[in-house]
Structure 1
Amino acid sequence: MSLKYTQEHEWIRTEGDGPATVGITAHAQDALGDVVFVDLPEVGRRYAKGEVAGVVESVKAAADVYMPLEGEVTEVNEALRADPSLANSDPLGQGWFFKVRLAAPGELDALMDETTYGEFAKNA
């Protein structure tokens, strides 16, 4: 299992050869406050790295969710759509946003590991 982070405060977890799982970080959900709505991407759609793939709205603000790496969305978290607060209560678990089949899995190496992201988030 590999867990990586982006500068836009998304995380991406890979396990074996299956699709990667994407969500927002604990730092992001802390900054947003209580999440009240999520707009999830369309299954089957291909996104470029950095392209807006969804939106998360909270009582404080709305924020775009960016595609961490190029790929095709294979699944969205319908439980999150039904209960957006999962992004607050379990952002790295049940609060995941979507799964993506990566076009170039080797690009994961360019993203931040947990230690690097922790330092980055302190200054964000």
Structure 2
Amino acid sequence: MHSGSLNAIRSTDQPRVRGLRESGNASLRKRGLSKERRLVMVASLLADSSRVRILYKLLDGNAYSASELALAAGTAASTASTHLSKLVAGGLLHVEPRGRHRFYRLAQPEIADFLDWASAIVDESRIPVPS
């Protein structure tokens, strides 16, 4: 679905991304959370359609401002800010301050892989839609 975007994300500085991933996982481990609990936390972040739209916007590998991501998510700036804070705290996004603005990007390329995988499962319509 977004295979072209994966190359853009993978072309980022891998040691920097690896360091973010390791530090994010380490902070979750310090809290004593099991692997299953960490998965539940990530799944809960993906349970909101606005947050998923934000993540899909970031699949091209670029960093975007909060206002650009609010527009992509179809939410008010204040709502998007709350979503962005949750995604950063959950280790899915990395924030880069630039002057007065903050720019967001995917924290690791595996997030794009996961979104592509999840989209493929949904596209295959094997998962029943709750009524």
Please state which structure has a larger fraction of its residues in strand: 1
- TM-score tier (shorter): under 0.3
Q: Which structure has the bigger radius of gyration?
A: 2
Please state which structure has a larger fraction of its residues in helix: 2
